[in-house]
Amino acid sequence: MEKSDLAKKLSESGNNREKEAGGIPGSGSGMDRQVKQKMWTVRRIVGLSAILIFVVLIVLGILSTRGGSKLNVDREKITIAKVSQGAFQEYIPVIGALEPIKTVYLDAVEGGRVEQRFVEEGAILDQGQQILKLTNNNLQLQLLNNEAQMYETMNYLRQARLSMEQNSLNLQQQMAEIGYNLSELRRKFERYQQLHAKSLVSQQEFEQVRDEYAYMQKKQELTVKSFRQDSLLRQVNIAQLEGQVDHMQRNLEVVRQNLDNLLVRAPIHGQLTSLNAEIGESISSGQRLGQVDEVDEFKVNVPIDEHYLSRVTTGQAGSFTFAGNTYQVRTTKVYPEVQNGRFRVDMEFAGETPPGLRRGQSLHINLELAAPSMAVLVPRGGFFQTTGGNWIYVVNDGGDAATKRSIRLGRQNPQYFEVLEGLQPGEQVVTSSYDNFGDADVLVLK
pLDDT tens sequence across 367-378? 988 888 899 999
Which of 105, 112, 100 is CA-nearest to residue 275?
105
Position 36 in a domain: no
Asked whether residue 342 carries a pLDDT value surpassing 50, the answer given is yes
CA distance 47 to 178: 165
Report CA-CA distances (Å) from 1 to 8, 9, 108, 161.
11, 13, 156, 192
The whole-number pLDDT of residue 2 equals: 42
Strands 325-339 and 317-322: antiparallel
Asked whether residue 136 carries a pLDDT value surpassing 80, the answer given is yes
Asked whether residue 10 carries a pLDDT value surpassing 70, the answer given is no
pLDDT tens sequence across 225-252? 877 887 787 778 778 878 887 888 888 8
The whole-number pLDDT of residue 391 equals: 95
Phi-psi region of 360 (alpha: psi -120 to 50; beta: other; left: phi over 0): left
Which residue, of 205, 240, 261, is where some domain finishes? 261
**Same domain as 403, residue 342:** no
Torsion angle (degrees, nearest 10) of CA 39, 40, 45, 48: 40
Range with the poorest average pLDDT among 189-198, 318-327, 405-414: 189-198
**Same domain as 304, residue 197:** no
Position 33 in a domain: no
Q: What is the mean pLDDT of the chain?
A: 83
The whole-number pLDDT of residue 258 equals: 80
Which of 246, 191, 181 is CA-nearest to residue 214?
181
Share of the chain above pLDDT 90, in %: 29
pLDDT (average), residues 7-30: 46
The whole-number pLDDT of residue 30 equals: 43
Indicate the pLDDT class of residue 303, thresholds 50, 70 and 90.
very high
Position 21 in a domain: no
Position 186 in a domain: yes
Asked whether residue 413 carries a pLDDT value surpassing 90, the answer given is no
**Same domain as 328, residue 280:** no
CA distance 201 to 194: 9
**Same domain as 392, residue 249:** no
We report the CATH number of the domain holding residue 301 as 2.40.30.170
* 47 vs 310: which has the higher pLDDT: 310
Phi, psi of 362 (to 5 degrees): -90, 140
Strands 263-265 and 91-100: unpaired
Q: Which helix (H) or strand (E) holds 429?
A: strand 428-430
Position 56 in a domain: no
**Same domain as 174, residue 241:** yes
CA angle 212, 215, 218 (to 5 degrees): 155
We report the CATH number of the domain holding residue 123 as 2.40.50.100
CA distance 402 to 77: 14
DSSP state of 125: E
Position 28 in a domain: no
- Inter-residue contact 143 to 255 (CB < 8 Å): yes
Give residues with Cβ within 8 angstroms of 314, minimum separation 6.
331, 332, 333, 334
pLDDT (average), residues 167-196: 84
pLDDT tens sequence across 346-403? 999 988 888 888 888 899 999 988 888 899 999 999 999 999 999 999 999 888 999 9
pLDDT tens sequence across 32-90? 455 555 566 777 777 777 788 877 777 555 544 444 588 999 988 999 999 999 988 88
Structural domain total, the chain: 4
Strands 103-107 and 288-293: antiparallel
The whole-number pLDDT of residue 23 equals: 46
Position 382 in a domain: yes
CA distance 174 to 94: 93
Beta bridge partners of 304: 343
**Same domain as 230, residue 151:** yes
Indicate the pLDDT class of residue 200, thresholds 50, 70 and 90.
confident
CA distance 359 to 192: 106
Which residue, of 368, 398, 417, is where some domain finishes? 368
Indicate the pLDDT class of residue 422, thresholds 50, 70 and 90.
very high
We report the CATH number of the domain holding residue 81 as 2.40.420.20
Give residues with Cβ within 8 angstroms of 373, minimum separation 6.
87, 88
**Same domain as 108, residue 96:** no
Report CA-CA distances (Å) from 425 to 86, 373, 391.
10, 16, 16
Which of 110, 128, 126 is CA-nearest to residue 289?
110
**Same domain as 214, residue 129:** no
Phi, psi of 49 (to 5 degrees): -65, -40
Which residue, of 317, 337, 368, is where some domain finishes? 368
The whole-number pLDDT of residue 428 equals: 94
Position 191 in a domain: yes
**Same domain as 325, residue 311:** yes
Q: Which amino acid is at 151?
A: Y
**Same domain as 246, residue 148:** yes
We report the CATH number of the domain holding residue 246 as 1.10.287.1490
pLDDT tens sequence across 432-441? 999 889 888 9
The whole-number pLDDT of residue 297 equals: 83
Asked whether residue 5 carries a pLDDT value surpassing 80, the answer given is no
- Inter-residue contact 343 to 337 (CB < 8 Å): yes
Q: Treating both helix axes as pointing N-terminal to C-terminal, what angle do 203-261 and 137-197 enclose, rounded to 10 degrees?
A: 170
**Same domain as 252, residue 141:** yes
DSSP state of 360: T
Q: Which amino acid is at 123?
A: A
pLDDT (average), residues 115-122: 90
Residue 393 belongs to domain spanning: 70-88+373-445
Which of 241, 240, 247 is CA-nearest to residue 157?
241
Asked whether residue 179 carries a pLDDT value surpassing 80, the answer given is yes
**Same domain as 256, residue 156:** yes
